[in-house]
Structure 1
Amino acid sequence: MLKDEVNKALKIVQDGGIILYPTDTIWGIGCDATNTDAVKRIFALKQREESKSMIILVDVDNKLQSYIRDVPDIAYTLIEYAENPLTLVMPGAKNISPALIAEDSSVGVRVSTHPFCQQLIQRLRKPLVSTSANISGEPSPEYFGKISQEIIDGVDYVVDVDQYLTEVKKPSTIMRIAPNGTFEFIRR
């Protein structure tokens, strides 16, 4: 049951653990976005350079201003009208682990529509790190059955939701937004 899985994942994340979980895009590896030790464990598991940032998930768009200094108005419009999951990279990151903030002070943020993610983030009262469930440089797994054993063994908890689904999911669209509201696509 979803509520039980949210409760189990919440305890792991609150205790500084990392989880493997379904999102509105591909499966993700995640943790409390304010916990630097947990964030560094994810970098180590993925064998990823710390200069390559990871995104954070929030449950509703009005939480953006809690983690971005000045959210341009266009960000809310883009989220509202996006046809596919949309990650916005914006400068002025705050209130998250410094390990998640890029050299230019930016962080990628996505409002997740997945029920598990929304409930976990609401209960955690903090954003959740989300990065693809693969070793850096390998293809992102399209569904749970394609996640490597190394990743499964490397997390503290594997969420038992949507594991049976074989629908091929794609990563989110990524756009960079400047404080003046201009934007560009990074990944379509």
Structure 2
Amino acid sequence: MPRPTKVSAAAVRKAAAFIRGGGTVVFPTETVYGLGADALNAKAAARIFEIKKRPHFDPLIVHVSSIRQARTLAHIGPEAEALMKRFWPGPLTLVLPKKKIVPEIVTAGLDTVALRMPADPTALALIKAAGTPVAAPSANRFGSLSPTTAAHAGAQLKNGPDLILDSGRTRIGVESTVLALRDGKFFILRHGGLPREEIERVTGRLGAALKGGRRPASPGQLLKHYSPRAALRIIGKTPVRLRKGIKYGYLAFTSRPAAAVGCFRILSRSGNLAEAAANLFSHLNELDKAGADVILAEPVPARGLGLAIMDRLRRAAAR
């Protein structure tokens, strides 16, 4: 595994050379760290699936540096372009009809492609320097916790990427929101870093979230995902009964737990959902490292970024 390299102009140039040469690079975005490869190189994209142990039916998000670049990859109507102009660069992915230039492996054989323009200077510099769109899922082993630090990514991908760019902890901490346009109406495929309420100020009321199945229409739709090593259980209002011989971790929303657990983390003492989202994966990772057998997670309010947090917790808790 390569050691994380602090971000610099020289490091970005080196990373771009790896991308152009068909290699893979771990790089930061404002959401989580991604594992990137040339989106137009099917062999390079296949390496992403190999490194992550990701099933080939799960499509990748393609990252671009401009709307102009997005137009080379997808058919973009006025509704989608309006969202791009309002929210790009940012944590919004749009699933759109693809053009033939996009390899089948990137889209998992679907006739659509997921596009995003990240709001991170390193990510944008890398895409521009590489001179190609970059396919990049989260830089983790498939189904595991998404990495919000370069060290967390490196620990999960020990035999894979050619380079790991390190710019510190990511700002948002959960993946992008994913939308699809169907019959003139936008639907949420995945709650994420752009709150639903902000999108609806532009689009009007969004269609109900579309559930994924065995063949997802976009990344992050599989029923079990974003999982720590420990079993995760979302607790309700009734008192928790702890079993002897089990080491419990506790993920609290605003205050330390009343239950006598071995270790705990608090998402946000002030109840700030943005702070809670930024802490989610790192806190779950810390509870894993502390040796918890079971992680008890408190629910958070189902509004704003709370929708994304609860989506991740429910998928992590799925059996």
Q: Name the residue aligned to 1:72.
A: 77
Matching residue within 49, 56, 59 for 1:53: 59
Segment drifting more, 46-55 vs 79-88: 79-88
1:172 corresponds to 2:168: no
Q: Name the residue aligned to 1:149.
A: 155
Matching residue within 165, 170, 182 for 2:185: 182
Task: Among all aligned residue pairs of Structure 1 and Structure 2, give the percentage whose two residues are the same amino acid.
Answer: 28
Matching residue within 95, 104, 112 for 1:106: 112
SS in 2 for 1:131: coil
Matching residue's letter, 2:58: K
The TM-score with structure 2 as length reference comes to 0.54
Distance 1:167 1:62, change over 3 A: closer
Matching residue's letter, 1:182: K
1:122 corresponds to 2:125: no
1: distance between equivalents of 2:14 and 2:78? 36
C-alpha displacement at 1:14, in angstroms? 1.3
C-alpha displacement at 1:98, in angstroms? 2.1
Distance 1:152 1:181, change over 3 A: farther
Distance 1:77 1:131, change over 3 A: same
C-alpha displacement at 1:25, in angstroms? 1.3
Q: Name the residue aligned to 1:31.
A: 37
Q: Is the 8 A contact 2:31 2:170 kept in 1?
A: no
Q: Is the 8 A contact 1:143 1:167 kept in 2?
A: no
C-alpha displacement at 1:53, in angstroms? 0.5
* Alignment RMSD: 2.0
Matching residue within 18, 27, 30 for 1:21: 27
1:97-154 deviation digits (Å, cap 9, x = unpaired): 2211233311100012211221222222210011001111112123333325241441
2: distance between equivalents of 1:4 and 1:181? 45
Segment drifting more, 93-102 vs 131-140: 93-102
Segment drifting more, 150-159 vs 133-142: 150-159
SS in 2 for 1:109: strand
1: distance between equivalents of 2:44 and 2:95? 22
Runs of 4+ in 1 over 4 A off after TM superposition: none
How many pairs does the alignment contain? 184
Segment drifting more, 50-59 vs 78-87: 78-87
Distance 1:149 1:82, change over 3 A: same
1: distance between equivalents of 2:147 and 2:130? 26
1:92 corresponds to 2:94: no
Distance 1:61 1:153, change over 3 A: same
Distance 1:15 1:166, change over 3 A: closer
Q: Is the 8 A contact 2:17 2:130 kept in 1?
A: no
Matching residue within 66, 79, 86 for 1:81: 86
